[in-house]
Amino acid sequence: MSNTAEEIEIRFRDNLISSQLIETESSGLLAVSGGVDSVVMAYLFAQVRDNFRLTLAIAHFNHSLRGEESDTDEDFVKDLAKALGMPFFSEKWTSSERGNWEERAREARYSFLNKTRQQLGYDWIATAHHADDQAETLLMRLVEGSGYRGLRGILERNGKVVRPLLKFSKAEFTHYAGENEISFREDSSNQDTRFRRNRIRENILPQIKKLNPHFSQTAQRTASNMVEIAEWVEEHLHDLYGRAVSVSDKGFIQIDGKELKKVSSFLQKELVREVVNENDLPWRGHVWNNLNHFLEKATVGDIMVLPGDCKILKDRDRFLVMWETNLEDLNAFQLDIATPVSLKVRGHNFTMDLTKEPTFSSDGATEFIDFDQLDHGSLHLRLWQAGDRMVPLGMSGHKKVSDILVDAKVDRFSKMSQYVLTSGHEIVWLCGLRLNNKFKVTSSTSSVARLNWSHAERPEAH
Amino acid sequence: MSNTAEEIEIRFRDNLISSQLIETESSGLLAVSGGVDSVVMAYLFAQVRDNFRLTLAIAHFNHSLRGEESDTDEDFVKDLAKALGMPFFSEKWTSSERGNWEERAREARYSFLNKTRQQLGYDWIATAHHADDQAETLLMRLVEGSGYRGLRGILERNGKVVRPLLKFSKAEFTHYAGENEISFREDSSNQDTRFRRNRIRENILPQIKKLNPHFSQTAQRTASNMVEIAEWVEEHLHDLYGRAVSVSDKGFIQIDGKELKKVSSFLQKELVREVVNENDLPWRGHVWNNLNHFLEKATVGDIMVLPGDCKILKDRDRFLVMWETNLEDLNAFQLDIATPVSLKVRGHNFTMDLTKEPTFSSDGATEFIDFDQLDHGSLHLRLWQAGDRMVPLGMSGHKKVSDILVDAKVDRFSKMSQYVLTSGHEIVWLCGLRLNNKFKVTSSTSSVARLNWSHAERPEAH
């Protein structure tokens, strides 16, 4: 890299323009550790500050990893901020746990940056990731097992975080610092091969660079290719999501089986992944294989367990998706009837109020009951339980709730999360489905309560 | 890998069934080097031969790399074939060049296998690539710089070649050979780190396996993910090709600009790649970037030079694609008028014959001339040249060919490859476009020749 410092500045400025990563007249938080990469980034941004009419600040996350040395780093960056005329923000992190340190430190660092950006109203955060980081990341992702999403590597833009240095190498920063007599702090943790990334940096990358000295640029190209594919898949997925995903009348996410059949098995699986979890973690290979098989071959009633405590049920013309935690969260709610009740139960809204004008609905979402029949001290909303019985409206004998659900052709998932409104030991309402005959409104009813059970809003594609 | 030999056999058989790589009652050529992988493959196929009713033979390619040792390998494989009751075919290769040995050896080996398969009428070829090979290949592709196509790694099926062992590890083969007391030859070239692949095997893979001991399976999963994406892109590309690609009236490949605008820039570039070259070699990164820019911003008349001696011209509503070699190949043809002439000129068909019934066509593809006006000894078909002049039909004065082409609004590419039929020093026909007035059919014409100039068939999407 024989580029002069001036050439690096020009390339930085041109890239800021062509990549459209940041807008002119915007405000940004520069994440500066004190190492050569982030220090040079601060100088490069200072160079273009007036030109782009930027408002800049420096944020430093003190990992407290190396005791006093870490505090000296912080002082160094604070002085740098002062020298460049930028406000300085920092946070000190202490963590006694040693396991998975890297990942937790990373989360804490981004949490600090995001919080600071939001609180102070800055538009974006810039980090100093460069081409060599990209090469390491791509290798790490390949080693860990990543599909095309993981192989996008470090993204040039990820939400409010931008990486304007991905096309530059560390060697260029060192050169820039040398030519401009810029001082920086050595990050001693970089030489510590206890960490996965550093193992790749110290032991594997040098070997690879013997085969391809330009591997950093090569990696950035591969990452770009994956970004392009991922964006393209995203487009198609977004369309498909709009056509195929909705909320069932029981409040579950449902995927239209016919719409699913119209697309390739690749997109089918991607859609399920999108519905089930929205992060980039790669699913295990066998999950993909099983999911493939399930989407193709499942018959009505088959259930597949997916990552993230998720289950998927093959129903007639659809797949129903539900989370284990849907059920775990469902504690019984004790109701206070003195005031109108409005409760959010996962996936549903429940309301109860007094009314003077009972009407009749046919969909079961709204029911009217004789308020005086209730045992007001013990009103509960809970999941139905094995053994629950009630006298359905218009009948005289008790019937098992499980039988009522079977007769109503309620699918297995909905059945598992069917709510009941109870009063004392009696079931008042099999919510949204059937009223207990005992609580019906009659000619002698003096006080009418209106009950409503409706499912929550449709999930949004993102 | 604690699988017993029997478990390996069962898994091999089950995988043959579920992958549908080969059909029952088919015939196959097993590529056997003599190393443990391919020898075990031969034994595994021998195990299922009756069950699948297969006709099997063994093919051995003698690289002659290690002199006598190579010939001993060949004898060993010949004996193995005999022991397994399979016909044996071999070829000995000698190459004095040392540069890029691996690549040339690979080409020669596959050329031998394909030729042998075709000549003997076998249905497929099986090679013994396994999960560890896949891991090396994926790393190599990443190191060299590959997009999603390259990262598909070794394909389970590629034309007539199948790799039924990709889900097995080398350790399993060694185990299988040990348990069954199967002997094999050590491939000493494997230890030779002069070769790129072996460098990855010896220096890089062991480091990676320290981070992820299951990297071979991980790599196979990544490869599968890329195969899925590639197939999906292929589907879309095939549709787009059908809608957007055709042959222009001048015989060039043309891409409909409006159809191109309808799809993402990713697919636009993929389509151009498909039209320009059909192999999996990754294009350099800057070519992609430039192509992106060109497809978006080019104005009428702009030309971009692509790999493979290809040029692409932005015309009004289309892009025209042409190869440099289109022009280099175009030597002048000397015509023999004694018999009817039918010539294939790149992209076009030219015919000339005598006729009794001249008709008239309006498209310029067919013309009729006064046969007796020709200087029969010096008939040529050639590209027009700067300085060419002629008297266009219905006119009396000479006009420059270049001006005629401009007036006819012929695009730049078509202009470059415009043919003329000459007789002596005169242009008889600006092929497909304009006749020389001198050669027109008149009332005194006694012998009429019919000329035809039509473009070749439309290219096929594949």
Domain boundaries, chain A: 5-227, 248-326, 330-455
Measured between beta carbons, the chain A residues lying within 8 angstroms of B143 are 208, 211-212, 215, 218
SS3 B55: strand
| Closest CA–CA distance from residue B460 to any residue of chain A (Å) | 23
| Closest CA–CA distance from residue A85 to any residue of chain B (Å) | 37
CATH code for the part of the protein at B248-326: 3.30.465.60
Residue B60 corresponds to which tokens in the numbers above?
A: 């051995």
- Where does residue A143 rank: exposed (0-12), middle (13-18), buried (19+ CB within 10 A)? buried
Adjacency order of strands within the sheet including A27-31? A88-92, A55-62, A27-31, A124-126, A161-162, A157-158
Beta-bridged to residue B320, according to DSSP, are B254, B313
Mention the CATH class of domain B330-455. Answer: alpha beta
Mention the CATH class of domain B5-217. Answer: alpha beta
Q: Characterize the bridge pairing of strands A379-383 and A419-423.
A: antiparallel
Mutate to test the interface with A, among B152, B229, B269 (most CBs of A within 10 A): B229
Measured between beta carbons, the chain B residues lying within 8 angstroms of A211 are 143, 196, 199-200
ipTM above 0.90, yes or no: no
Measured between beta carbons, the chain A residues lying within 8 angstroms of B266 are 228-229, 231-232
Please, what is the angle between helix A5-19 and helix A36-52, to 10°?
Answer: 60
CA dihedral over B262, B263, B264, B266, signed as positive or negative: negative
| Closest CA–CA distance from residue B300 to any residue of chain A (Å) | 24
Cβ-Cβ contacts under 8 Å between A and B: the total is: 103
Please check whether residue A290 is in contact with residue A304, taking contact to mean a CB–CB distance below 8 angstroms: yes
In this prediction, the residues of chain A whose per-residue pLDDT falls under 50 are 1, 279-281, 325-331, 458, 461-462
Q: Check residue A424 and give its pLDDT.
A: 81
- Where does residue A105 rank: exposed (0-12), middle (13-18), buried (19+ CB within 10 A)? middle
d(CA A274, CA A269): 9
Residue A149: closest C-alpha in chain B = B225
Measured between beta carbons, the chain B residues lying within 8 angstroms of A219 are 142, 145
Q: Check residue A197 and give its pLDDT.
A: 80
Q: Check residue A189 and give its pLDDT.
A: 59
Residue B461 corresponds to which tokens in the numbers above?
A: 């999407």
Q: Determine, for residues A222 and B147 on separate chains, whether the beta-carbon distance falls below 8 Å.
A: yes
Query: How does A254-278 read in b/e, with b if 16+ C-beta sit within 10 Å?
Result: bbbbebbeebeebbbbbbbbbbbee
Beta-bridged to residue B430, according to DSSP, are B420, B434
Q: Determine, for residues A233 and B229 on separate chains, whether the beta-carbon distance falls below 8 Å.
A: yes
Residue A218: closest C-alpha in chain B = B145
Smallest Cα–Cα separation from A326: which of A386, A251, A434? Answer: A251
Out of B217, B220, B222, whose CB is closest to A147? B222
Q: Determine, for residues A208 and B143 on separate chains, whether the beta-carbon distance falls below 8 Å.
A: yes
| Closest CA–CA distance from residue B242 to any residue of chain A (Å) | 19
Q: Determine, for residues B138 and A142 on separate chains, whether the beta-carbon distance falls below 8 Å.
A: yes
Please check whether residue A223 is in contact with residue A215, taking contact to mean a CB–CB distance below 8 angstroms: no
Smallest Cα–Cα separation from A310: which of A272, A345, A281, A280? Answer: A272
Q: Check residue A79 and give its pLDDT.
A: 97
d(CA A267, CA A301): 23
Q: Determine, for residues B208 and A143 on separate chains, whether the beta-carbon distance falls below 8 Å.
A: yes
Please check whether residue A270 is in contact with residue A233, taking contact to mean a CB–CB distance below 8 angstroms: yes
Please check whether residue A376 is in contact with residue A422, taking contact to mean a CB–CB distance below 8 angstroms: no
Instruction: Read off φ and ψ for residue A457, nearest 5 degrees.
Output: -65, 160
d(CA B340, CA B449): 10
In this prediction, the residues of chain B whose per-residue pLDDT falls under 50 are 1, 279-281, 325-331, 461-462
Domains A248-326 and A330-455 in one fold: no
Measured between beta carbons, the chain B residues lying within 8 angstroms of A235 are 264
Q: Give, for B57, the enclosing helix (H) or strand (E).
A: strand B55-62
The CATH architecture annotation of domain A5-227 reads: 3-Layer(aba) Sandwich (3.40)
Residue A293: closest C-alpha in chain B = B18
Query: How does B258-284 read in b/e, with b if 16+ C-beta sit within 10 Å?
Result: ebbeebeebbbbbbbbbbbeeeeebbe
Q: Check residue A285 and give its pLDDT.
A: 62
